[in-house]
Structure 1
Amino acid sequence: MSGNKITNWDDAYSNSAYIPGGDDYPAKWQAAAAAFRDEMRAAGRLREDIAYGSHPRNRYDLFLPKTEAKGLAVFVHGGYWMAFDKSAWSHLAAGPLAHGYAVAMPSYVLTPEARISDITRQIGAAINAAAREVEGPLHIAGHSAGGHLVSRMNTATSPLDRDVAARLRKTVSISGLHDLRPLLNTSMNETLRLDLAEARAESAALLEPLDGMDITCWVGANERPEFLRQNGLLANLWSSFKVEVSSVEEADRHHFDVIEGLADPDHRLVRTLLGV
């Protein structure tokens, strides 16, 4: 970077290189998620690989609380729309489950097989399907690319069914990307295949929100400057609309550990998501 001007966009959106032991996190996530699934499976509180579409990746897992569900929480994973699936994040369901909420975690078709606009529609279909399985209020969260996807559910071009959108009580976009245009300058766009028109159409910050939405943009204070900037965009640009919008910078958290609060029933991140 030179001053405030970004000259290396790949570096601006690089996370692992700036996190000590960053390359070790995926294996840690997989191990914690697998152990949690084993526990939930043994308790009879896990429904796995529920189809919401025709593609093999159009599947979600549904974790059930010990008693009748108060409502539904959905977590959408990140990975720059290019990596991961639902299997690495199961342990993050622990926080909402402890408060009596069912938790759905979908996979989706990744780029380059799908475009980002396709993935947006897939996540809408996944949430619509899970909402038909669990009654009550809906709370959605996503991390990084998943933060982008849940933010998009709040916009006037949301793929959510109208009755499902009416049940949406809270969205938390964790380290979300709300303006996709800078990604046109990165080498990963060879995989994302974004053009300017799609980047504009898929950027929540450039769209009008649905009336009545309530969204918090949450980021680790130790994240890359671009993620801090992206985190503040919706609070800035949506402040004049009929929505509740806020932003949080969580101290001493980086891009890979900022999601850990979802596993803790008493963490502020869980309480913000559920309104408890």
Structure 2
Amino acid sequence: MLVHEVADWDDAYENGGNIPGGDAYPGPWVAPAEAYRTRMQASDRARLDIPYGEGERNRYDLFLPEGTPRGLFVFVHGGYWMALDKTYWSHLAAGAVARGWAVAMPSYDLCPDVTIAQITAQIGAAIDHAAGEVDGPIVLSGHSAGGHLVSAMMCEDSPLSAATRERLKHVVSISGLHDLRPMLRTTRNDTLRLDMDSAEANSPALKRPLPGVRLTAWVGGGERHEFLRQAALLANIWHGLGAPTVEVAEPDRHHFNVIDGLADPDSPLMQAALDPVEAGRDRKGLAS
């Protein structure tokens, strides 16, 4: 029997201090992200700082493939809803762009200036706006807090418009936080300002999924137990509610390098995101 007892909830959700070299992040992402933006601008395939709302951070970058896009791929960054912006992740668009997809990467306002519910609404507005710029199916991905935000897009109370919901095919939550109630036990909640009511109201794991949308809960095999549990939790619950779900713990990946596969068109992560049925045939022991 496995018994998991959490004595320190801050440590349970602490990544940088529990990964060798983890305190260096987000630094290692800055140079490759800037280089990718520069390269895409030089080829006239980057549209930067497209406004989707009135706030200074209500902007997204759109990276375009050669030719007509096959669809829209969105990446929503993490940072515990309180840090970072779209500029750290531009290079992660490379995998989907190489596969012929347009990629949108939004920034959003941060806690404590806004609530998590307001951030969720902003991401919905960003995706709706990007959907107006690019035709075809929509695949959403997000990392950590971003995994929470994209999972919220396929909940029954999704902020997405009806037209965008109809095009939504797949949500890939990477190391996502799907039940926010544990955040109440952390000092991060001084910034997040959740109470039990708002934590429950903003937890995808406590909601029903939209019909016809696939979920992949992807997590690094070397991550903190709570991130492994959060991934398994959503896949398990939504599978029982009729959603096609897959849970993947990628070996030898921690919380920061688990997203590296997004930059590689041939990585298992990109195959799962854009060719989920085919990718599933290559795996064993996954819920679907």
Contact 1:211/1:241, CA 8 A, preserved across alignment: no
For residues 24-63 of structure 1, the aligned pairs below 5 Å read 24-63=24-63
Check if 1:78 corresponds to 2:47: no
Cα offset, 1:110, TM superposition: 0.4
Deviation for aligned residue 1:157: 0.7
Contact 1:60 1:126 in 2 (8 A): yes
Please tell me whether the aligned partners of residues 76 and 106 of structure 1 are also in contact (alpha carbons under 8 angstroms): yes
In the alignment, which residue of structure 1 is the partner of 2:178? 178
Q: CA deviation at 1:263?
A: 0.2
- 1:179-218 map, 5 Å: 179-218=179-218
Deviation at 1:98, TM superposition (A): 0.4
The one-character-per-residue Cα deviations of 1:105-142 (angstroms, maximum 9, x if unpaired) are 00000000010000000000000000000000000100
Pairwise CA distance, 1:66: 1.1
Question: Is 1:249 matched up with 2:249?
Answer: yes
| Unmatched runs of 5 consecutive residues or more in structure 2 | 279-288
The correspondence of residues 122-271 of structure 1 with structure 2, limited to 5 A, is 122-271=122-271
Counterpart CA distance in 1 for 2:43 and 2:51 is 22
Deviation at 1:23, TM superposition (A): 1.8
Number of positions where the alignment pairs a residue of Structure 1 with one of Structure 2: 274
The Cα of 1:25 is off from its aligned counterpart by 2.6
What secondary structure, in the 3-state scheme, does the structure 1 residue paired with 2:173 have?
strand
Q: Deviations over 1:18-59 (max 9, x none)?
A: 111112231110111001100001110000100000000000
Output one character per residue of 1:223-255: Cα deviation in whole Å (capped at 9) or x when no partner. 000000001011211122231111000000000
> Which residue identity is paired with 2:124?
G
1: CA distance, partners of 2:8 / 2:259 = 27
1:133-187 Cα shifts (integer Å, max 9, x gaps)? 0000000100000000000101001001111011011110000000000000000
Distance 2:74 2:210 in 1: 19
TM-score of the two chains, using structure 1 as the length reference? 0.98
Residue 184 of structure 1 contacts residue 194 of structure 1 at CA under 8 Å; is this kept in 2?
yes
* Whole-angstrom CA distance in 1 between matches of 2:240 and 2:7: 32
Would you say the 8 A contact 2:112–2:193 is kept in 1? yes
Task: Return the offset for 1:67.
Answer: 1.2
The one-letter amino acid paired with 2:155 is T
The aligned residue for residue 20 of structure 2 is 20
Say if 2:64 and 2:97, in contact at 8 Å, map to a contact too.
yes
Identity %: 58
- Structure 1 residues without counterparts, runs of 5 or longer: none
Secondary structure at the counterpart of residue 84 of structure 2: coil
